């Protein structure tokens, strides 16, 4: 699997960090995990085309995690001299799907070949070459985390999440754990992992590598979050940067 970080930031506008969005591919399957504002432009910068996306997985119903879904669908429908010849699948929690029907479908309709699937808090299914598992997270009423497995390798995206045992269970022995590291310990906020808690989740899950992402602006350099995570995790830790690529 290849991962490209399209957005390592949050809802707060930043010239350095785009809103949340991740791209993974394997065996020709190309998917997005979240697609916050600016994701389409980030795809272009990463030299990956929005035309090739097979599926979008939404973690929860907060705008910084799905704001570019409507522009993506619009682009697929309206790009001159382009006709999409394959299906697009959109996966997300039940509350997000209700929003889709009320706010997105009335504008863009329900195009043929576009399929919506509701994800439950504990789900297991296959998509293309991926085996996918989900778990409810402590953040909002509809927030979920995803685990993608392919040929014995795995990557877990926490989405927005606070510390809990369900997240640790989902991440057991994962090769790469991509966490919500919204704040350093001094700015800990309910519903989000602190840097130290990110390390604790990774340590208890026996993760191979920890990638700190979803970084809110703080009074200290972002790199100091890595140091705080090292207090509780003795494995490999990296700070996410936009357009970073990782092979798993």
Where residue 129 sits, what CATH number does that domain have?
3.60.15.10
What gap in Å lies between CA 163 and CA 147, rounded to an integer? 17
What domain count does the chain have?
A: 1
- Say what the pLDDT of residue 155 is: 98
Determine the structural domain holding residue 36 and report its residue range: 2-247
Query: How does strand 55-57 pair with strand 88-93?
Result: parallel
CA distance between the termini of the chain: 5
What are the residues facing 247 on neighbouring strands? 2
Distance CA 195, CA 224 (A): 9
Interatomic CA distance for residues 148 and 150, integer angstroms: 7
Query: Which regions of the chain are under pLDDT 70?
Result: none
As to burial, measured by CB atoms within 10 angstroms (0-12 exposed, 13-18 middle, 19+ buried), residue 83 is: exposed
Tokens in use for 67? 């704001």
Residue 169's CB is within 10 A of a number of other CB atoms, namely 13
64 with 20: CB under 8 angstroms?
A: yes
Residue 223 confidence (pLDDT): 86
Closest by CA to 176, choosing from 153, 203, 150, is 153
Can you give the pLDDT at residue 116? 82
Q: What is the pLDDT of residue 43?
A: 98
pLDDT value at position 98? 87
């Amino acid at each position: 699997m290849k991962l490209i970080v399209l957005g390592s930031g949050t809802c707060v506008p930043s010239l350095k960090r785009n809103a949340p969005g991740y791209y993974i591919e394997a065996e020709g399957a190309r998917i997005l995990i979240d697609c916050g504002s600016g994701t389409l432009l980030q795809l272009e910068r990463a030299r990956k085309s929005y035309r090739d996306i097979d599926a979008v997985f939404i973690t929860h119903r907060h705008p910084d995690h799905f704001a570019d879904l409507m522009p993506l669908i619009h682009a697929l429908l309206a790009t001159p001299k382009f006709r999409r010849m394959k299906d697009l699948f959109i996966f997300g929690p039940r509350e997000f799907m209700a929003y889709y029907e009320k706010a997105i479908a009335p504008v863009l309709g329900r195009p043929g070949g576009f399929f919506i699937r509701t994800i439950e808090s504990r789900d297991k299914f296959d998509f293309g070459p991926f085996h996918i598992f989900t778990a409810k997270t402590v953040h909002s009423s509809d927030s979920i985390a995803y685990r993608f497995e392919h040929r014995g390798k795995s990557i877990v995206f926490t989405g927005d999440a606070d510390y809990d045992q369900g997240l640790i269970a989902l991440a057991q022995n994962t090769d790469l754990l991509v966490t919500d590291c919204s704040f350093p310990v001094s700015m800990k906020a309910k519903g989000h992992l602190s840097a130290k808690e990110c390390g604790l989740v990774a340590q208890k899950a026996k993760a191979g590598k920890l990638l700190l992402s979803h970084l809110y602006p703080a009074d200290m350099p972002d790199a100091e979050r890595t140091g705080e995570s090292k207090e509780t995790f003795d494995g490999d830790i990296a700070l996410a940067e936009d357009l970073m690529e990782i092979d798993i």
